[in-house]
Amino acid sequence: MTTQQLRTPEQCAQEQLDAYNARDIERFASVYADDIQCIDLATGTIFCNGRQSLIDRYGPMFAEHPDLHCRLVSRVVCPPFVYDEEDVTGIRPGSSLHAVATYECKNGLITRAWFVREDAA
């Protein structure tokens, strides 16, 4: 990938969202850096450490939940960060998950991501 082809932070966030909704684990993982860290903002727990860890976590979820969908509620872009407010459905019947994701993007890839969630009816 050349400098001219690097994704902007907003393009990183949108590409991973589109791949998430398509449940395409290869495309989804390709937007993340090899050394990606996904962090639960409420606890500070790192729940994905590296691209393979991301694939191991999200791959089965994509396969097991054919109705999985993330609706973007709002987005704030302040490079190198993108803040997405999201509603996720399709994990548990009749319920949704309200979440905020913060993506840090460098060199056209997401290098760190923080998530905070709230169950919604």
Residue 121 has pLDDT above 80, yes or no: no
Counting the structural domains of the chain, the total is 1
Q: Going by C-beta distance under 8 Å and a sequence separation of 6 or more, which residues neighbour residue 31?
A: 7, 12, 15, 16, 19, 109, 110
pLDDT tens-digit map of 64-119: 999 999 999 999 999 999 999 999 999 988 889 999 999 999 999 999 999 999 85
Q: Taking the model in full, what pTM does it have?
A: 0.91
pLDDT score for 5 = 83
- The arithmetic mean of pLDDT across residues 8-16, rounded, is 98
Residue 4 has pLDDT above 70, yes or no: no
Rounded CA separation 4/17 (Å): 22
Domain containing 34: what range?
3-120
Rounded CA separation 112/102 (Å): 8
Rounded CA separation 2/60 (Å): 32
Closest CA to 20 of 4, 44, 38, 1: 38
Q: Are 108 and 5 in contact (CB under 8 A)?
A: yes
